[in-house]
Amino acid sequence: MKSLARSFLTIILLCLIATSLEARKVAYVIGNNRYQHSKSLSNAGNDAADVGGVLRQSGFITISLRDATQAQISSGLREFSRKAHNSDVCIFYFAGHGFEVGAKNYLVPVDGLLQEPSSSTAGPLAASTPERHVDFPKACHQ
What amino acid occupies position 8? F
Give the chain's domains with CATH numbers. Answer: 2-141 (3.40.50.1460)
Residues 6+ apart with CB under 8 A from 138: 4, 5, 8, 44, 47, 93, 94, 95, 96
- Report the chain's mean pLDDT, rounded to a whole number: 78
How many whole angstroms separate alpha carbon 89 and alpha carbon 93?
Answer: 13
pLDDT in tens, 126-136: 333 344 444 55
pLDDT in tens, 2-59: 566 666 666 666 665 555 566 789 999 999 999 998 899 999 999 999 999 989 988 8
